[in-house]
Chain A
Amino acid sequence: MTPFNMGTGEILMEFVNDNYNPATPVTIDTELVRTEIIDSYSILELISFIETRFNVLIPDEEVRPDSFRTIDAMCALVDSLRNEDDDAA
């Protein structure tokens, strides 16, 4: 089970390492798209996981490689979507 105090990056790294079997464990800045750890099919699981785990909705405009290129990029995406929610509250 994911520890309650894990950060966004750690949670995403754990998910990617557990589900996509990279040759070596990914780090915060491992290139995930060019190395095909993430592709157009596996992205579906990842989007679903992020939306559920972090309670955000990823808009169509963000379904692009730049948003998922690294764990760091995904953290930035999650943060920006959370901030949008905060602004709307």
Chain B
Amino acid sequence: MTLLERCGGAALRINGTKIWLRPLGRSDIGTRYLDWLNNPEINEYTSRRDRSFVESDLIDYLDHANASSDRLLLGIFTQDSDTHVGNILMHVIDVAAGVADLSNLIGEREYWGRGIIVDADSQAIHFGFQALGLGKFVMGNIAPHRASTFKSTSLGAKLEATLRGQAVFRGERVDVLRFGVFADEFYGEFPDLRHRVTWEPTNVQPFNTMEDDID
């Protein structure tokens, strides 16, 4: 079973305050999406920054994610104008421990600084904890990307590791910061979310993790 099927398939929709999330299909791939990935400013702090992409790369990436048992790729759409502004990827890296890595991209520059990414990430994490039964989310960024550091800590995540000189940025070695967040830490920042069902359909099939066995 793919993770997308586990989550209700193409019908999945997760509603935030400013955004909503849904799976992507091939019809979502186009010039706009391609421009995001080939824009140096958008990708300045990512591992994509020195690469170029063509449409077939996006199709392969999308097809691979949608066929995967451990990856869930969702588009981020604005509530007010229904504009596709970015993507979010949940990658379940350890099913037994219930751990998933979360990464994202806001491709539309004009939507930076509007609280979009925290809304999107918080909804994805909430869905992961409550619907999929996950127990921990991890995320990371290079140290100079302080906007991402602040975003992660805004989600309740704690700095867990500093990987010294693990990446190269603007010709210099820089640290990579790794963050992690458990449910109690997350809901400490988003108490109103804890008991809300923000996704549909609601018959999501959770993972069989060890979470229930952990005190």
Which residues of A come within 8 Å of B, CB atoms? 33, 36, 39-44, 47, 60-61, 63-65, 68
Contacting pair B143 A40 (CB below 8 A): no
**B31-62 Cβ-contact flags toward A at 8 Å (1 or 0):** 00000000000000000000000000000000
Rounded to whole angstroms, the CA-CA distance of A42 and B147 in the bound complex is 8
Asked if B162 lies at the interface with its beta carbon under 8 angstroms from chain A, I say: yes
B interface SS class: helix
Contacting pair A39 B177 (CB below 8 A): no
Rounded to whole angstroms, the CA-CA distance of A64 and B159 in the bound complex is 10
Which A residues are in CB contact (< 8 Å) with B177? 60
Interface 9-mer from B5-13, B63-71, B150-158, B197-205: B150-158
Asked if B146 lies at the interface with its beta carbon under 8 angstroms from chain A, I say: yes
B139 to chain A, nearest CB (A): 12
Rounded to whole angstroms, the CA-CA distance of A50 and B47 in the bound complex is 29
Contacting pair A40 B148 (CB below 8 A): yes
Contacting pair B118 A60 (CB below 8 A): no
8 interchain pairs (CB within 8 A)?
A39-B113, A39-B115, A40-B154, A41-B147, A43-B146, A60-B149, A63-B146, A64-B150
Rounded to whole angstroms, the CA-CA distance of A12 and B167 in the bound complex is 34
Please name the residue on chain A nearest to B121 by beta carbon.
A40
Which A residues are in CB contact (< 8 Å) with B175? 60
Rounded to whole angstroms, the CA-CA distance of A68 and B189 in the bound complex is 15
B158 to chain A, nearest CB (A): 9
Number of A-B contacts (CB under 8 A): 47
Task: With A40-B118, A44-B147 as known contacts, state yes or no: A64 contacts B153, CB within 8 Å.
Answer: yes
Rounded to whole angstroms, the CA-CA distance of A65 and B149 in the bound complex is 10
B101 to chain A, nearest CB (A): 18
**B111-123 Cβ-contact flags toward A at 8 Å (1 or 0):** 0111101100000
B31 to chain A, nearest CB (A): 25
Please name the residue on chain A nearest to B175 by beta carbon.
A60
A60 to chain B, nearest CB (A): 6
Please name the residue on chain A nearest to B18 by beta carbon.
A36
Rounded to whole angstroms, the CA-CA distance of A39 and B147 in the bound complex is 8
Please name the residue on chain A nearest to B156 by beta carbon.
A65
Which A residues are in CB contact (< 8 Å) with B159? 60-61
Rounded to whole angstroms, the CA-CA distance of A68 and B143 in the bound complex is 18
User: Which of A36, A47, A60 sits near B115, CB closer than 8 Å?
Assistant: A36
Nearest 9 Cβ contacts at the A-B interface: A41-B113, A64-B153, A40-B151, A63-B149, A40-B150, A40-B147, A43-B150, A41-B112, A36-B115
